[in-house]
Structure 1
Amino acid sequence: DYKSVTMGEEAHFYGNAEVYWRDVPPTVDGMLGGYGSISNIDLNGSKAFLKKLIGEGEGKTGTMCALDCGAGIGRITKRLLLPLFQTVDLVDVTQEFLDQARTYLGEESKRVGHYFCTGLQDFVPEPGRYDVIWIQWVIGHLTDEHLVKFLERCQGALRPGGIVVIKDNVAYEGVVPDDVDSSVCRDLQIVRSLVAKAGLRIVHQEQQMDFPKEIYQVHTLALR
């Protein structure tokens, strides 16, 4: 029957990704697939994006607690989230990365609330906990159905006025599979349709500029 085949494929898709990441060195370069040099450009773009949405005033988002999804060793937590939020939680499928994060984050790691070791397809964030849920370079590891369900759970995990941010590669057209790390890259229209299916709307959107020409376009979407 069709269902058991796709469940088998699904297990394969997630299992292969876990195996891939298990062999990746727990470094910034490892997190970025050899593109460690773009980390500063990436983080500066993210900071400018987030600063438009957080703080005091009408329609702004608080700075109590953030969640870093697919956090790896905490590259984004260290340079983007901990400087802006009182508490940050990390979730990643690879325990070795989370172990390394404690060292990598240094003294500031005392403001980490939780380290969750699980895939996002299985992760249930605590309702009403987060001002910002940051999901970067990881949605390609979720099936469409699991992405929609995860975004729905994220919506329930937001504090009043909170936002979900997706920052990810965008394909030119359709869905492009990557067999190396067992992921997919979707075009912007598909990402938008999955966001809408999850009952979220895009409140702000930007393209990350100044990345090397040979890599995918990267777009950042703030969702409520």
Structure 2
Amino acid sequence: MAAIKKQSLVDQIYQRLRENIITMQLPLGSHLNVNELQSQMGVSCTPIREAINRLQQEGLVVYENNVGARVLMLDEHDVREIQELAATLQVTAVRLALRQGDRQRMALEIREQIRRYEQALTPQEEVGAVHELVGVFYHNCGNKRLDNSMIAIQGQQLLLRYLYCSCAGHGKNQADFERIYQGVLKNDPDAIIAALRENAERALPGILRCLKEKTS
């Protein structure tokens, strides 16, 4: 039986703030006041600052001179840039993972995430399944620098996925994920990349519409 891992105080604060940002309970552009967070959470400023620094590394928090930390702002240009960068990284991750990883194990991991996605009851559960599905290629690409590059924007990607999954009438994407699964089985990186690209393109209008609704 695997040991139960205890989360540090910093981890707990980080996870709480991260979820609140991704689900937009903390609105885009809102100021993160350390003193207010201390009062709300009943902890010292040190773990809060460490958690905020981690969120900055993920691209969810930015620092401004004379202002301090705030949740990132997004407009249509930002969304397109994030999607373009993610697509570029995904191409490399997919090709390296199929070249160097265990395809049978990756296929099993992707099948499990498809199952989680199909059974998801909330946007958070959908987002988690999609995030882990795409993450299979990064975890198996054998390139830590590439994996670290994705970490730098993964918070922003999660936020965009949440926007899409929480948008009314967004629809499910099992067909795209099945194509990804089959691409792994057949060792066909081009098919996987095409499915990922088409999925992102299909989601873009919904993301932009939901972003406009939540920021207007």
Specify the structure having the higher radius of gyration (Cα).
Answer: 2
Scaled by the length of structure 2, what TM-score is found?
0.27
Determine which structure has greater relative contact order: mean sequence separation of CA pairs < 8 Å that are 6+ residues apart, divided by chain length: 2
Identify the structure with the greater helix proportion: 2
Identify the structure with the greater strand proportion: 1
